[in-house]
Structure 1
Amino acid sequence: MDSLKKSINDLEAIIENAYDGLYITDGDANTLMINKAYERITGIKRQEVLGKNMRELVASGAIDRSVSLEVIEKRSPVTIMQELRSGKKVLVTGTPVFDMAKMQIKLVVTNVRDITELIELKDKLHETTLEVNRYLAELDKIKTLQRQQTKFATKSKKMIELLETAIKASQFDSNILITGESGVGKGLMAKLIHESSGRKDSPFVIINCAGIPEDLFESELFGYEPGAFSGASVKGKKGLLEVADKGTVFLDEIGDMSLRLQAKLLRVIEEKEMNRLGSTKTIKLNVRIIAATNQDINALIESKKFRQDLFFRVNTISIVIPPLRERMEDVIPLVQHFTQRINERYGMKKHFSSEAVQLLMSYAFPGNVRELSNMVEQAFLISKGEIVEADELPLQVRNIVDTQGLLLDDGKKTYSEIVDLMEYKVLKNALEKYGSTHKVAKNLKISQSTIVRKMKRLNIKIRDNE
């Protein structure tokens, strides 16, 4: 009898001194015992619950959910996670103890473990993982940038002045709007500004306003809380604006952004704060906005497709990148730059003949620098020898001259004469077609002064009223 009493005392001591909280009820959910760990974890004292039924405790609000009741109902172990009034998060597991003779539950033993610190560690690990992924992505971008040697190669006075302006502007946090035709290098200019700024060690996040579907754009831009919408991640997600905190956001093709999102972006710029989808919590932001478009923003404003107040906010500093046809002196350094890059990439030693370069100089490049880059690579890949000849250039370049009458001449003309003949024919035909140097300049997309100068040099008669 004494030994039995001692065993019971030992068992009670074990329960009382267990690290995890223990809550024991009978098969009808009447509270029989709790230990001091349960009191410590939950803040509920034993005198508040001993002898009371779990249904009564739930009804009174003392406990919001009873695992013991769920175990009795399901006749199997149940595990849930609860957040207590104190803010602690606990993992609660209830286990039935059966009377094997009657196959009835005689006890429910509930284990309560404080996992607040574990959850906090998990959240910190998740945040750290996001940070690591962000930095890895940035590192990858930097490596890619170095590999491709995406630097401006220019001898144009206009471009050099533009780069100087961009570098000066980079020292301030003012928002910048970069405009120019497709392919002129707006993204490269934005990257240059970021890398020259005090934010260079923070993220440079590119958001393609034309490339993200409208129904996904808002969640990509602002992020969302768990369960914010059907299909949302249970973990929620940081938006691109939040990822870019302390860095630079490059809004490419901002002219394609919907008016609804323009209004939300305006708030971000003005208030420097945002909310994730499904959340009322305000998140402070510290980002620099660089926007770009190849569209006429003023025309978009007039047609009510772009907010004028947003235009004023993003256009604190304006940078207009001229098309390649207005800075033809950049064709040769760009060809040299792309040639070096492709040679290094493919282990080749190719170069363009002077005739091929001169032919490229005569092309208007409607696709700008991007078209020239693609053209150089295409010519490299199809050329037979180490020298890329003029007749190995893409068809659209070769078609600007009468190859039978000029390039395949019988050898009596010098190269300079051939080029002059080519320009004479193009300008003469254009003047006959359009009637004035102003219209020729407009249709050939070159300045009128350049047209007049070339016509005078080639002795093409210009009307007296011009």
Structure 2
Amino acid sequence: MEKELRLELDTIINTSNNNITITDENGIILRSNREHWKMYDIEEGSYIGTSIYELEKKGILSPSINALVLKEKKVVQVLQHTKSGHVIMSTGYPVFNKEGQLIRAISYSQDQTEIYRLQEQYEQLQSKVAGFQAEVEELRGKEASQHPILFRSSKMKQIITTIQRVAKSDATILFLGASGVGKSTLARYIHDRSERHKEPFIEVNCSTIPETLFESEMFGYEPGSFTGAHKSGRKGLIEQADQGTLFLDEIGELPLSIQVKLLKVLQEKKMTRVGGKVEHLVNFRLITATNQPLKEMVDEGKFRLDLYYRLNVIPISIPPLHERQDDIVILLQHYLQIMNEKHHSTKKLHPSTYHQLVQYKWPGNVREMENILERLVLTIEDPIIRPEHLPLELQSNIKETVESSHYEQDMVEKKSLKEAVEEVEIQMLSRAKKQCKTTYEMAELLQISQPTVIYKLKKYKNHLQ
């Protein structure tokens, strides 16, 4: 009977899909199926009577599942790595006698090498896909917004928060603000983040279209509508914006006759071309902007009250650049880099020049900044743009220019680089201290950590103004 049980056991072990190993309480291998040791590069028959601890020392079993079972005296599962590169999943079970003594350890092993390699390949593929997706998103972002919204001031943070909140809706937005503050850039920013971002963004500057051509430009015309009309007719700007966004800049310049027709389009969602009889359905999101006081124009009879209420659903006032000095700092760096790249230059701003540009009132706002920096990059031969290179309107007063020259000369005469760096740090800390209320604001302005600000304030406390 015992002989038959042994035969049955040997048959079970040798025909099992799992690789089975049985050891005694001392770790000596008693039984194992023939295919098992091929995974460990050991010849068949050389394992019976071998100690698993020896095989572990030689690195053949790394680690030995049976050794772990004998040590832990409980079920154990491990992932083994062999010298030949196999990855093996092993599970071990303890066997106890009636007295509760551990007498055997039985382990089942499966070669997971191919699955493991497939998993690695899958993870690598996933990583590549994620990388490609990131690149695509980056390219989409660049394509969607050639002029990114750069800001640091609290006023612009509030405006961007509002814009992000309403971008997904179809609500009509009215931007109020002086020329050049970036109203068209913000309109594009909204379109790019709306549900219509894949559809056209049609921008119309109402102040640049002659009144006699306004109707045909906005509403289009049918063939033969007037002398000089195209033979096949033409879609108007409103029709071109169908399913997308129509941005009407300088809406205050819109003629009263066109105001009536625009109001009808907004109310009925349909329009008729000049010289035509067929009504065309249109569906667009309207964004408008003006630098004029529309409410006063309504009181003066220059702008329709009913159209004003249609446009004034979400009014957003954009403050002029001189009211958000924190934005000037990063915009100067941004547009100087753009102009350098555009004209293959490496111009830099002298610290005194940078200071004067930050203090300048910028009546033409962001547009003026772009133009002036491009002019400086193109016309100045020196690699460093100094205060004397600035246009006269930017030089606030002679005294400041003289002080800047003295400052520059003083920097040259310093005994060491360390002293020069300390002088610059003192100057910048003094200015930041005047502009900011807290050390956190100073850290944000200077682009350093708040603990560093505290350290430097203590270091230079006797030199700060």
Count how many residue pairs are aligned between Structure 1 and Structure 2: 281
Asked if 2 retains the 8 angstrom alpha-carbon contact of 1:221 and 1:241, the reply is yes
Residue 289 of structure 1 deviates from its aligned partner by 0.6
| 2:163 alignment counterpart | 166
Cα distance in 2 between the residues matched to 1:220 and 1:362: 42
Residue 215 (structure 2) pairs with residue 218 (structure 1): yes
- Give 1:339's aligned amino acid: L
Asked if 1 retains the 8 angstrom alpha-carbon contact of 2:243 and 2:284, the reply is yes
Residue 195 of structure 1 deviates from its aligned partner by 0.6
| 2:367 alignment counterpart | 370
Asked if 2 retains the 8 angstrom alpha-carbon contact of 1:406 and 1:418, the reply is no
Cα distance in 1 between the residues matched to 2:338 and 2:314: 32
Asked if 2 retains the 8 angstrom alpha-carbon contact of 1:148 and 1:341, the reply is no
Residue 298 (structure 2) pairs with residue 310 (structure 1): no
Which of 326, 332, 337 is the matching residue for 2:334?
337
Q: How does 1:66-215 map to 2 (within 5 A)?
A: 146=143, 149-215=146-212
Asked if 1 retains the 8 angstrom alpha-carbon contact of 2:252 and 2:303, the reply is yes
Residue 182 of structure 1 deviates from its aligned partner by 0.5
Q: Alpha-carbon deviations, 1:129-178, whole Å to 9, x = none?
A: xxxxxxxxxxxxx9997599411211111102211211221100011101
Q: Alpha-carbon deviations, 1:189-218, whole Å to 9, x = none?
A: 110011110101100011111101111110
Residue 389 (structure 2) pairs with residue 392 (structure 1): yes
State the percentage of identical aligned residues: 40
**Which blocks of at least 5 consecutive residues in structure 1 are unaligned?**
1-141, 422-466
Residue 267 (structure 2) pairs with residue 270 (structure 1): yes
**Root-mean-square deviation over aligned CA pairs:** 2.8
Evaluate the alpha carbon distance shift between residue 146 and residue 349 of structure 1 in structure 2; reply closer, same or farther with a 3 A threshold. farther
Evaluate the alpha carbon distance shift between residue 350 and residue 339 of structure 1 in structure 2; reply closer, same or farther with a 3 A threshold. same
Cα distance in 2 between the residues matched to 1:248 and 1:367: 27
Asked if 2 retains the 8 angstrom alpha-carbon contact of 1:184 and 1:368, the reply is yes
Q: Alpha-carbon deviations, 1:21-72, whole Å to 9, x = none?
A: xxxxxxxxxxxxxxxxxxxxxxxxxxxxxxxxxxxxxxxxxxxxxxxxxxxx
Evaluate the alpha carbon distance shift between residue 162 and residue 300 of structure 1 in structure 2; reply closer, same or farther with a 3 A threshold. same
| 1:284 alignment counterpart | 281
Residue 308 of structure 1 deviates from its aligned partner by 1.1
Q: Alpha-carbon deviations, 1:70-95, whole Å to 9, x = none?
A: xxxxxxxxxxxxxxxxxxxxxxxxxx
| 1:294 alignment counterpart | 291
Q: Alpha-carbon deviations, 1:246-295, whole Å to 9, x = none?
A: 00000010100111100000001111111111122111110111011011
- Give 1:308's aligned amino acid: L
Cα distance in 2 between the residues matched to 1:320 and 1:233: 41
Which of 236, 240, 243 is the matching residue for 2:240?
243
| 1:85 alignment counterpart | none
Cα distance in 2 between the residues matched to 1:279 and 1:391: 61
Asked if 1 retains the 8 angstrom alpha-carbon contact of 2:345 and 2:377, the reply is no
| 1:356 alignment counterpart | 353
Q: Highest Rg: 1 or 2?
A: 2
- Give 2:348's aligned amino acid: H
**Which blocks of at least 5 consecutive residues in structure 2 are unaligned?**
1-138, 412-422, 432-465
TM-score, reference length from structure 1:
0.56
Asked if 2 retains the 8 angstrom alpha-carbon contact of 1:220 and 1:239, the reply is yes
- Give 2:302's aligned amino acid: K
